[in-house]
A and B are shown apart, each in its own frame.
Chain A
């Protein structure tokens, strides 16, 4: 149990995928205009990331390694992730039509979220058991969600601020993301 806690804390804070490893920046910037859509995106990504890390661990250890097919790793993982994303989209579309219309194109884009593939590939080297692989994926997803929601909350306040003309738009977002990243660097060495 303490091991699980360590994995979660490490992936959420110390090795946060967005601010420390710089993965998954596309949805981080793209889906954070609104707080509500950020929460939906975070939930969808959490679902996909956790399942993807679990399935990819199983496929790696019980299919690819026994058949000596590790060179197929990336393409097999991408097929799995794409299917999972499609599955998530079907579920969201059927159960949450409103959320589906808000997220729109960002759900298929989870496929190309490099954090998902990144976690699956890192699990190959890092995870020692199935449980730790799932926890690793779940922790990474929580870290991503935390950052995405924080960033969306900050961006919602932006219109009230007197931002210099030259910094408006993407520039101030990049500066904000950089400051967030700097803050998260402070966790280094904790794990």
Chain B
């Protein structure tokens, strides 16, 4: 009886010991920490931290004590969140691979062939475009991950340093000061400042090639008065399209009337004397 108790206790103790060692060795809590870290990372998979993606970086932070300030897309917010999460000190951003300058992608418009290959590559959907159309990068959304550079067949994407901090467009627009900053940025060589002035007259807007506006939003970004130019142009384009639709319907109706008249005239000349239905019937029978 005593041996039985002893042996059973011994087996239990050995198993417990082994399990404890295994728990230490494989530490399942690591996974939860990794998941939490991963949630804080921006998921751009840009590998600028020196690890092949966000999960490897999270694993490195959790298990290898990797520095928490290697994530340029996340910036200071991510560093602060990670510091809170891990109880470490928030450090200034350290771009291990780059030169410390925050860069965003920009497309050289003259060379873009509209192949759409860069669209799926962008992890944050910051590139807009359609087949055979010029693509544009939404600067505010671009994280500078450089993933769009590899798929571009004509190498028309540059990484340009961000000269000024990105201004988030405020909802309160100030009056236009006619600075003309919006003119050089327009990829379609339009003059947004003029288009905005002529907002009411559709004829002038049409002559200023309003229909060519691709609503890329570049003029919004540079406008110092924070005027929602793209939105204004979109509405004006809609009015222009509506007016053109009315003109088109009128033209089509007129065309149909003219065609109808011409057909009637021709029918009259063929049936020289459309006297009565009996005559017509007799003629048809003769033909048969």
Residues of A within 8 A of B (CB): 59, 63-64, 67-69, 71-72, 75-76, 79-80, 82-83, 86-87, 90-91, 93-95, 97
B28 — nearest CB in chain A belongs to which residue? A93
A79 touching B15 in the complex, CB below 8 Å, given contacts A67-B3, A69-B3, A72-B4: yes
Which of A69, A90, A91, A97 touches B7 (beta carbons < 8 Å)? A69
A72 touching B7 in the complex, CB below 8 Å, given contacts A90-B26, A94-B31, A95-B26: yes
Residues of A within 8 A of B22 (CB): 87, 90-91
Residues of A within 8 A of B19 (CB): 83, 86-87, 90
B15 — nearest CB in chain A belongs to which residue? A83
Bound Cα distance from A122 to B148, whole angstroms: 62
B34 — nearest CB in chain A belongs to which residue? A97
> B15 near A80 (CB under 8 angstroms)?
yes
A59 touching B3 in the complex, CB below 8 Å, given contacts A87-B19, A90-B26, A94-B26: no
Bound Cα distance from A76 to B13, whole angstroms: 12
> A94 near B27 (CB under 8 angstroms)?
yes
Bound Cα distance from A117 to B253, whole angstroms: 88
From 11 to 33 in chain B, residues with beta carbon under 8 angstroms from any chain A beta carbon are 11-12, 15-16, 18-19, 22-23, 26-28, 30-31
Known A87-B19, A93-B28; 4 more pairs at CB < 8 Å: A63-B7, A64-B7, A79-B11, A83-B16
Residues of B within 8 A of A93 (CB): 26, 28, 31
Bound Cα distance from A39 to B22, whole angstroms: 24
Expressed in whole angstroms, the minimum distance between the Cβ of A168 and any Cβ of chain B is 38
Bound Cα distance from A144 to B230, whole angstroms: 65
Expressed in whole angstroms, the minimum distance between the Cβ of A32 and any Cβ of chain B is 26
> B11 near A80 (CB under 8 angstroms)?
yes
> A91 near B11 (CB under 8 angstroms)?
no
Residues of B within 8 A of A68 (CB): 3
Bound Cα distance from A83 to B20, whole angstroms: 11
Residues of A within 8 A of B12 (CB): 79
Residues of A within 8 A of B23 (CB): 90
> B28 near A90 (CB under 8 angstroms)?
yes
Q: Does B96 contact A (CB under 8 A)?
A: no
Residues of B within 8 A of A90 (CB): 19, 22-23, 26, 28
Residues of B within 8 A of A76 (CB): 7-8, 11
Per DSSP, chain A at the interface is helix
Expressed in whole angstroms, the minimum distance between the Cβ of B37 and any Cβ of chain A is 14
> A94 near B28 (CB under 8 angstroms)?
yes
Bound Cα distance from A87 to B18, whole angstroms: 8
What 6 A-B pairs come out closest when comparing CB atoms?
Answer: A94-B26, A83-B15, A93-B28, A90-B22, A90-B26, A67-B3
Expressed in whole angstroms, the minimum distance between the Cβ of A55 and any Cβ of chain B is 10
Residues of B within 8 A of A64 (CB): 7
Bound Cα distance from A91 to B26, whole angstroms: 6
Expressed in whole angstroms, the minimum distance between the Cβ of A189 and any Cβ of chain B is 40
Bound Cα distance from A59 to B3, whole angstroms: 15
Residues of B within 8 A of A82 (CB): 15
> A59 near B11 (CB under 8 angstroms)?
yes
Bound Cα distance from A75 to B26, whole angstroms: 28
Residues of A within 8 A of B30 (CB): 94
Q: Show 11 residue pairs from A and B whose CB-CB distance is below 8 angstroms, ordered by the A residue.
A: A68-B3, A69-B7, A76-B7, A79-B12, A82-B15, A83-B15, A86-B19, A90-B22, A93-B28, A93-B31, A94-B30
Indicate with 1 or 0, residue by residue over B23-56, a CB within 8 angstroms of chain A CB atoms: 1001110110000000000000000000000000
Bound Cα distance from A59 to B11, whole angstroms: 9
By CB atoms of chain B within 10 A, which of A86, A93, A94 has the most?
A94
> B26 near A83 (CB under 8 angstroms)?
no
Residues of B within 8 A of A67 (CB): 3-4, 7
